[in-house]
Structure 1
Amino acid sequence: MKRLLLILCLFSAAITYGQNAPGRWSAEKANAWYAKEPFLVGSNYAPANAINELEMFQADSFDPATIDKELAMAERIGMNTMRVFLHDLLWKDSAGFTKRLDQFLSLCAKHKIRPMLVLFDSCWDPFPKLGKQHEPVPGIHNSGWLQSPGAAALTDESQYPRLETYVKGVVGAFKNDKRILAWDVWNEPDNTNDNSYGKNNKKLEPANKVALVTKLLPRVFQWARSAGATQPLTSGVWIYRTPADWQNPAKWSPMEKIQFENSDIITFHQYSNPTELEKVIPALESFGRPVICTEYMARGVNSKFQTHLPIAKKAKVGMINWGFVAGKTQTFLPWDSWQKPYVNGREPAIWFHEVFKQDGTPVDPAEVAAIKQATGK
Structure 2
Amino acid sequence: MIRHLAPLFFLLIWTASGQAQSALNDSTAVAGRWSTERINNWYAEQPWLVGCNYYPRTAINQIDMWQASTWDPATIREELGWAADLGMNTLRVYLHDLVWADDESGLYQRMDEFLTICQQYGIRPFFVFFDDCHFPDPQLGEQPLPVASFHNSGWVNSPARELANRYAEGKATSEEVARLKAYVQKTIQRFRDDERVLLWELYNEPGRGQGELSPESNAYAGGIGEKSNQLVYNTWLWAREVNPSQPITSTTHGCVGERNIKINRINSDLHSIHPYGGPDYLTKTIEEYQKDGRPVLVTEWLARTHGSTVQECLPIMKEMNVGAINWGFVSGETGTVWPWSSRKGTDGEKLSAHALREAGKVVKPGEPFPEPEVWFHDLFRADGTPYDQAEIQLFKELTKRESEKEQ
TM-score normalised by the shorter chain: which range applies? 0.7 to 0.9
* Structure 1 CA distance for aligned equivalents of residues 74 and 373 of structure 2: 32
Any conservation in 1 of the 2:54–2:92 contact (CA below 8 Å)? yes
* Structure 2 CA distance for aligned equivalents of residues 356 and 46 of structure 1: 13
- Quote the RMSD (CA, aligned, Å): 2.5
* Structure 1 CA distance for aligned equivalents of residues 115 and 304 of structure 2: 30
Specify the alignment match of 2:366 in structure 1: none
What is the one-letter code of the residue matched to 2:260? M
Map 1:10-21 onto structure 2 (within 5 A): 13=4, 15=6, 20-21=29-30
The match for 1:283 among 261, 281, 288 is 288
* Structure 2 CA distance for aligned equivalents of residues 317 and 309 of structure 1: 10
Deviations 1:274-300 (CA, angstroms, capped at 9, x unpaired): 111122222211101010000000111
Specify the alignment match of 1:266 in structure 2: 271
Matched, 1:27 2:36: yes
Any conservation in 1 of the 2:206–2:255 contact (CA below 8 Å)? no
Deviations 1:160-207 (CA, angstroms, capped at 9, x unpaired): 21101111111111111111111110000011324x438xx9954367
What is the one-letter code of the residue matched to 1:238? H
Deviations 1:266-322 (CA, angstroms, capped at 9, x unpaired): 110011001111222222111010100000001110101111111111111000000
- Seen in structure 2, the aligned counterparts of structure 1 residues 160 and 177 have a Cα distance that, compared at 3 Å, is same
Structure 1 residue 211 displacement after superposition:
3.5
SS of residue matched to 1:295: coil
What is the one-letter code of the residue matched to 2:139? K
Specify the alignment match of 2:188 in structure 1: 171
Matched, 1:358 2:368: no
Structure 1 residue 48 displacement after superposition:
0.4
SS of residue matched to 2:284: helix
* Structure 2 CA distance for aligned equivalents of residues 128 and 57 of structure 1: 13
Specify the alignment match of 2:114 in structure 1: 104
Specify the alignment match of 2:104 in structure 1: 94
Specify the alignment match of 2:65 in structure 1: 56
The match for 2:297 among 286, 292, 296 is 292
* Structure 2 CA distance for aligned equivalents of residues 48 and 219 of structure 1: 33
- Seen in structure 2, the aligned counterparts of structure 1 residues 16 and 59 have a Cα distance that, compared at 3 Å, is same
Any conservation in 1 of the 2:29–2:263 contact (CA below 8 Å)? no
SS of residue matched to 1:131: coil
- Seen in structure 2, the aligned counterparts of structure 1 residues 331 and 320 have a Cα distance that, compared at 3 Å, is same
* Structure 2 CA distance for aligned equivalents of residues 58 and 370 of structure 1: 35
Q: Percent identity?
A: 41
The match for 1:186 among 181, 203, 216 is 203
* Structure 2 CA distance for aligned equivalents of residues 116 and 12 of structure 1: 29
Between 1:24-33 and 1:222-231, the stretch displaced more is 222-231
Between 1:122-131 and 1:155-164, the stretch displaced more is 155-164
Q: State the TM-score, normalized to the length of structure 2.
A: 0.82
Matched, 1:126 2:143: no
- Seen in structure 2, the aligned counterparts of structure 1 residues 282 and 73 have a Cα distance that, compared at 3 Å, is same
SS of residue matched to 1:320: strand
* Structure 1 CA distance for aligned equivalents of residues 307 and 222 of structure 2: 33
What is the one-letter code of the residue matched to 2:229? T
Specify the alignment match of 2:21 in structure 1: none
- Seen in structure 2, the aligned counterparts of structure 1 residues 19 and 162 have a Cα distance that, compared at 3 Å, is closer
The match for 1:205 among 216, 221, 229 is 221
* Structure 2 CA distance for aligned equivalents of residues 206 and 336 of structure 1: 18
Unaligned runs of 5+ in 1: 1-10, 242-251
Any conservation in 2 of the 1:151–1:206 contact (CA below 8 Å)? no
The match for 1:334 among 320, 339, 357 is 339
Specify the alignment match of 1:231 in structure 2: 246
Structure 1 residue 153 displacement after superposition:
2.1
What is the one-letter code of the residue matched to 1:190? G
Question: Counting helix residues as a fraction of each chain, which structure ranks higher?
Answer: 1
* Structure 1 CA distance for aligned equivalents of residues 396 and 284 of structure 2: 25
- Seen in structure 2, the aligned counterparts of structure 1 residues 29 and 74 have a Cα distance that, compared at 3 Å, is same
* Structure 1 CA distance for aligned equivalents of residues 226 and 274 of structure 2: 22
SS of residue matched to 1:319: strand
Map 1:251-262 onto structure 2 (within 5 A): 253-262=258-267
Any conservation in 2 of the 1:155–1:206 contact (CA below 8 Å)? no
Structure 1 residue 53 displacement after superposition:
0.7
Residue-pair matches, total: 353
What is the one-letter code of the residue matched to 1:15? A
Specify the alignment match of 2:126 in structure 1: 116
